[in-house]
Structure 1
Amino acid sequence: MNSIAIFCGSKAGNESVFIEQAQKVGAYLAEQGKTVIYGGGRTGLMGIIADSALQAGGKVIGVIPTTLVDRELAHPQLTELHVVNTMHERKAKMAELADGFIALPGGAGTLEEIFEQWTWAQLGIHLKPCAFLNIHDFYTPLFDMIHRTVETGFTQARFAEQLFQSESIEEILEKFKNYQAPEPKWGVQ
């Protein structure tokens, strides 16, 4: 597992722990020799992840749609920057480049991106792990809802179990190293 896609906020949030952990994640991934794949922005947790990985000597690849480049939101110092036409192309390119996916705190875009990858894993479009870095219990209510979807018969337990959560980037990478994808929903694609 050489490249990790990070989904996170284009804002920094209102608690310093989010910034501190984003800095730690970027530096740790670089120190572990992992390439960071992310949305290519320079603001919020996105920019913090990129900056800390680059400062630690890591490789950072951004994937950003033209409309955001036009608004001058692209990070200017990345190892590589892929400019695509649409958000759909962005997610597909990130999925192609990444060996696994981690969500840090963020809003609707972060949730949409990680849930699409988790859905693709269930369908067998890819067999890559997905995780949430649960900083300061940010995602605990979300996991309560995911467990509710299992209890009510909308999600198969094996798919909920394949979705990792931890407060520790180290633990997530360890789980990724030992990851075995469950049988896809309708067999291997």
Structure 2
Amino acid sequence: MGRSPNSLKSVCVFCGSSDAADPAYLRAAGDLGRALAAAKLRLVYGGGGVGLMGACARAAHAAGGEVLGVIPNFLVGKERALESVQHEVVGSMHERKQRFFEESDGFVILPGGIGTLEEIVELLSWRRLDLHTMPVVFYNPDGFWEPLFALFQHTVDAKLTPPSFMDAWTVVDRVEDIVPSLFAGPKAGASSMLTSVT
């Protein structure tokens, strides 16, 4: 299921859906949307018009980028589905994540809450099982994701996860570094992870 960086055409963005988010995060999401449009990369995202995901999608669309939103029917009202972009309404969260995976060649993770965490863990679990080798880029302003990385390292230190797992993603502190990191592809050490933990 791996795809080469040369085939990068669609990028899924996981991020928060809260309008109460730090305005700096909302601005960064808009900057990413514009950067994806400029790079001719289709944005695949959660389909809503709220929070960081709405900011990213509106910016990408306004900049002439292609956008695909995927939203479960029970969230259409709550997350205010963005009618101005192409979107699919699916029956469940599981379907939504499967469509993200099927429609994407790479993933970007912006600040988010428990829903974003759930998406991250499944995506990286699938990477651990060698179900994909797509690039995963974390945007980590002011160390936002450091507690999560520390938890992952804790599982490595406990010999429950192989050390190679820590190469499954790239971390950037600046929005302008996200797209180049996607095109750079997975880290060299992130080859097969389906090995025993010793």
Any idea what the Cα deviations from partners look like across 1:127-168, whole Å, max 9, x if unmatched?
212221112221122112222222221221211112221112
Is the 1:37–1:98 contact (alpha carbons within 8 Å) kept by the matching residues of 2? yes
Any idea what the Cα deviations from partners look like across 1:107-131, whole Å, max 9, x if unmatched?
0100111221111111122221222
Residue 164 (structure 2) pairs with residue 178 (structure 1): no
Aligned Cα root-mean-square deviation (Å): 1.8
Which of 45, 51, 54 is 1:47 aligned to? 54
Is the 2:17–2:79 contact (alpha carbons within 8 Å) kept by the matching residues of 1? no
The worse-fitting range, judged by mean Cα deviation, of 15-24 and 82-91 is 15-24
The residue that corresponds to 2:167 in the other structure is: 161
Which of 1, 4, 22 is 2:11 aligned to? 4
The residue that corresponds to 2:41 in the other structure is: 34
Identity among equivalent positions (%) equals: 38
Tell me the number of residue pairs that the alignment of Structure 1 and Structure 2 aligns.
186
Q: Aligned equivalents of 1:151 and 1:161: distance in 2? A: 15
Tell me the CA shift for residue 71 of structure 1: 4.3
Tell me the CA shift for residue 179 of structure 1: 2.2
Which of 72, 76, 95 is 1:69 aligned to? 76
Aligned-partner SS, 1:90:
helix
Aligned-partner SS, 2:76:
helix
Aligned-partner SS, 2:44:
strand
Runs of 4+ more than 3 Å apart? none
Q: Tell me, which stretches of 5 or more residues in structure 1 are unaligned? A: none
TM-score under structure 2 normalisation?
Answer: 0.87
Tell me the CA shift for residue 81 of structure 1: 0.6
Aligned-partner SS, 1:131:
strand
TM-score under structure 1 normalisation?
Answer: 0.91
